[in-house]
Amino acid sequence: MKRNPLAEIMLGLGGLLTTAAFFMAFFWAPGTSYPDGRVDFAQKIFYFHVPVAEASFLVFIFTAFYGIRFLMTRERIYDTKARIATEVTLFFVLLTMATGILWTRVEWGVWWQWEPRLTTYFILTLLVIAYFVLRNSVEDEEKRAVYASAFGILAFIDAPISFFITRWLNSIHPIVFGGGESSGLETSMLITFIVAQVGMLMLGYAFYQLRLREEELRERLEALKIEIGD
Amino acid sequence: MAKSNSWRQFKAILRKDLVMELRTKEMITSMGLYALLTMVVYQIALAEAGDSFDVRLVMPGLIWVAFIFMSMLGLNRSFVHEKDQGCIDALLLSPVDRPVIFFAKFAGNLLFLMVVELLSLPVFSFLFLQGRVGFGNPVWLIGVVLLGASIGISGVGTLLATMTVNTKGKDVMLAVLFVPIMYPLLRAAVGATFAAVIGGPGTVTTFWLYMAWVAAFDVIMVAIAYALYEFVIGV
Amino acid sequence: MMDLYAAVIPQAPYIIGAYGLIWVGLLGFVYMVFGRIGRLEKELRVLEESIERRAKS
């Protein structure tokens, strides 16, 4: 079985970059403070919460992309790829939710707030879960693949809505980039953020490739078992 | 030639659904009854709220909750029929264009949904809104929301129900897929209904803003549903 | 300095929690996937060997 050296390189690099970003966040990037002068320590969550969230959106694109590819070609590998992309999305979505909830508790004083970004992201979580519920409830393999692809494409529409909604509506969720005067970061904060973001995307790619390799191995094993059984 | 042919096929499928409904009255009665039962549940929910509580504040939410669950009941029904009686299989064997099937089922579901909505809304006002201040804006605005949101519900619902009717969970599965996909539409529909019901300065603008949102959802989602239908129905 | 501690201490559990969850999540994912890949590779080797043996005999 061919190994994918790129996946392992990406895993190593991603791990290195995210670890570096972790230290940069706590020892290099300046702390922020509230208008009344108190130190805002919880802002440190930003360096990992946002990269994980962006990664969840980006990986979800592949669910829709491979869904379209599958419907056009009917090759099973694309369905497997779409499924794995959705799995990685679910993983990132759960991490985003967990870190987000903790940040909300510190900054807003509540664990949860029904505001546009949180609401649409919650809907995204439900859609990603629904994707797997749908897969589990269809027995015929081709039907499962077609339905999952169709639903993945339809569900993806929520991702851009969730991403842009803080810019369209009045939202108390912070807009860090391109959101008017109060947005934007100091250079050292920006560099820390970019390192974390790039590292996280590399990890996302590595996770996807590793899971794909696992699925390929599993399929080969099943094929061999059938061969022996005959 | 081809166009008029599609139109004939469209009318034939739609007529089949209508004739069957007129004979059995199954969809309209089950959906209507469901709406009535929901209102009983609302009475329970609001029982302790007291008389000073203005029902109009929650009315838009209440009616759309009723309509969304009612529509799922209808959508599921309409495809269970097709499947049990082998209609879809027969349609697929006949030389009917796939897009025609989508639009015919979409139109049928939209029609039934609109009929039950228009019947249950007066009942809702009769039961809950008597003696209250009337609607703030012209009543026809509510008709606009009903039509706008029902288009999205039946369009996307037609695609999803075609899928879920072949799954193990059927109606439960439809709810799991349908409600989150519908969230943006429902949110806008409730917003528009609220603006229409409450009235006051600026609410008409708010109403049309929400309606633009509804229209955008309808156009994008129904187009995607239409494009995907061809793939979903054949397997 | 006291001000700093006053701000940091109440917020610390949440920040530690957030970073902890991320690390546990990421490492757990990698650990699990590698574990499963390792098992699958081992099984594959065993199967391939047995096929080879059968082919020889």
Cβ neighbour number for residue B147 with a 10 Å cutoff: 15
A to B contact (≥3 Cβ pairs closer than 8 Å) = yes
**Mean pLDDT of all residues in B203-219:** 92
Q: What percent of chain A has pLDDT over 90?
A: 48
User: For A148, how many CA atoms within 13 A lie in the half-sphere containing its CB?
Assistant: 33
Residue of B nearest to A144 (CA): B167
Would you call A134 and B163 a contact, using CB atoms and an 8 Å cutoff? yes
pLDDT of amino acid A120:
92
| Residue A39 φ/ψ, nearest 5 degrees | -75, 135
Q: Which of A122-126, A185-189, B190-194, B214-218 has the lowest mean pLDDT?
A: A185-189
Q: Which H or E run contains B52?
A: none
**Contact check, Cβ <8 Å, A155/B231:** no
Each residue of B13-64: pLDDT tens digit? 888 888 888 888 888 899 999 999 999 999 999 888 877 788 888 889 999 9
Helix (H) / strand (E) element for A40: namely strand A39-40
Confidence of residue A60 (pLDDT cuts 50, 70, 90): very high
C21 with A98: Cβ contact below 8 A:
yes
> What 3-state DSSP class applies to B200?
coil
Query: In the complex, which subunits touch C with 3 or more CB pairs below 8 angstroms?
Result: A
In eight-state DSSP terms, residue A184 is: -
> d(Cα A199, Cα A197) in Å, to the nearest integer?
5
Assess if residue A205 is contained within a domain.
yes
Compare all CA atoms of chain A with the CA of C32 and give the residue at the minimum distance.
A211
Distance (Å, whole) CA A224 – CA A218? 10
Report the share of chain A in percent with pLDDT over 70: 94
C20 touches chain A (CB under 8 A): no
Domain with residue A12: its CATH number is 1.20.120
* Any A CB within 8 A of C32 CB: no
In this complex, is the C-beta atom of A210 within 8 Å of any C-beta atom belonging to chain C?
yes
* pLDDT at B234 > cutoff 80: no
- pLDDT higher for A67 or B99? A67
Q: Is A103 part of the contact surface with chain C (CB cutoff 8 Å)?
A: yes
Given an 8 Å threshold on Cβ–Cβ distance, is C51 in contact with A48? no
Total domains in chain A come to: 1
pLDDT band at A99 (very low <50, low <70, confident <90, very high): very high
In this complex, which of B168, B180, B224 lies closest to A137 when CB atoms are compared? B168
Distance to chain B for A179, nearest Cα, Å: 22
Rounded-to-integer distance, Cα A189 and Cα A176, Å:
11
State the smallest CA–CA distance between residue A68 and chain B in angstroms.
Answer: 9
Q: How far are the Cα atoms of A38, A40, C9 from residue A35, in angstroms, in the given order?
A: 8, 10, 19
Q: Which one is predicted more confidently, B87 or B105? A: B105
Q: Does A146 contact B at CB distance below 8 Å?
A: yes
Which of C11, C21, C27, C41 to mutate to probe the A interface, most A CBs <10 Å? Answer: C11
For the segment A192-201, the average pLDDT, to the nearest whole number, is 91
SS3 A33: strand
> Residue A181 pLDDT more than 60?
no
Contact A210 C34 (CB under 8 A): yes
In this structure, are residues A196 and A49 in contact, taking their beta carbons and an 8 Å threshold? no
Kindly state whether residue A52 falls inside one of the protein's structural domains: yes
Rounded Cα–Cα distance for residues A33 and B86 (Å): 67
Cβ pair A95:C36 closer than 8 A: no
Query: What is the average pLDDT value for chain A, to the nearest integer?
Result: 87
pLDDT of amino acid B183 = 93
At residue B22, the pLDDT reads 86
Does residue A204 contact residue A58 with C-beta atoms inside 8 Å? Answer: yes
Residue B72 makes CB contacts below 8 A (sequence gap 6+) with: B157, B171, B174, B175, B178
Rounded Cα distance, A141 and A122, in Å = 29
What interface predicted TM-score (ipTM) does this complex get? 0.88
CB pair distance less than 8 Å for B225 and A139: no
Other Cβ atoms less than 10 A from the Cβ of A175: the count is 13
Note whether B touches C: 3 CB pairs or more under 8 A: no
Q: Tell me if there are at least 3 CB pairs under 8 Å linking chains C and A.
A: yes
pLDDT, position A3: 67
Measure CB to CB from residue C29 to each of A52, A91, A105 and give the nearest one: A91
At B191, the pLDDT band (50, 70, 90 cuts) reads very high
* Rounded average pLDDT over B115-137: 82
pLDDT band at B155 (very low <50, low <70, confident <90, very high): very high
Q: Which residues in chain B are closer than 8 Å to A138, comparing Cβ atoms?
A: 166-168
Q: Which of A67-76, A185-194, C46-55 has the highest mean pLDDT?
A: A67-76
- The region of weakest confidence among A156-160, B176-180, C11-15 is C11-15
Residues near A162 by Cβ (< 8 Å), separated by ≥ 6?
Answer: A57, A117, A120, A121, A123, A124
Question: Per-residue confidence at B65, pLDDT binned at 50, 70, 90?
Answer: very high
Q: Between B163, B167, B180, which is nearest A150 by CB?
A: B163
Indicate whether B90 pLDDT > 90. no
Residue A40 placed within a domain:
no
Question: CB-based contact (8 Å) between A223 and chain C?
Answer: no
- Alpha helix (H) ranges present in B85-139? 87-93, 98-128
> What pLDDT sits at residue C2?
59
pLDDT, position B1: 46
Given CB atoms, is A147 within the 8 Å cutoff of chain C? no
Q: Do A147 and B163 touch (CB under 8 A)?
A: yes
Q: Is residue A137, in this structure, part of any structural domain at all?
A: yes
Nearest-angstrom CA–CA distance, A211 and A82: 12
3-state per-residue secondary structure call for A44-77: HHHHHHHHHHHHHHHHHHHHHHHHHHHHHHCCHH
pLDDT tens, residue by residue, A207-227: 999 999 999 899 888 888 887
Q: What is the mean pLDDT of residues A159-164?
A: 89
Is the pLDDT assigned to residue A31 strictly greater than 70? Answer: yes
Task: Please give the pLDDT value at position B132.
Answer: 66
CB within 8 Å: A91 and C14: no
Give chain C's residues under pLDDT 50.
none
Nearest to B219 by CA among A146, A157, A131: A157
CA distances in angstroms from A193 to A15, A18, A20, A107, A190, listed in the order given? 15, 10, 11, 19, 5
To the nearest 10°, report the CA torsion of A186, A188, A189, A192: 160
With residues binned 3-state (H G I as helix, E B as strand, rest as coil), the percentages for chain A, rounded to 5, are 80, 0, 20
Contacts of A141 (CB under 8 A, 6+ apart): none
Beta carbons within 10 angstroms of residue B179's beta carbon: 17
| Closest by Cβ to A130, choosing from B156, B177, B232 | B177
Q: Which band of pLDDT confidence, cut at 50, 70 and 90, is reported for residue A183?
A: low
Mean pLDDT within B174-182: 94
Contact A174, A92 (CB under 8 A): no
With bands split at pLDDT 50, 70 and 90, how would you rate the model's confidence at A182? low
Range of the domain at A75: 5-34+47-229
Span of A2-11, B109-118, B142-151, B189-198 with lowest mean pLDDT:
A2-11
Tokens for A17, please give them: 């970059």
Find out whether B138 and B56 touch, Cβ atoms under 8 Å: no
C5 touches chain A (CB under 8 A): no
Is residue B102 within 8 A of residue B229, CB to CB? The reply is yes
Across the range A147-165, mean pLDDT stands at 92
Residue-wise pLDDT for A104-140, tens only, equals 888 888 888 888 889 999 999 999 999 999 999 998 9
CB atoms within 10 A of CB C15: 20
Q: Name chain B contacts of A157, Cβ cutoff 8 Å.
A: 220-221, 224
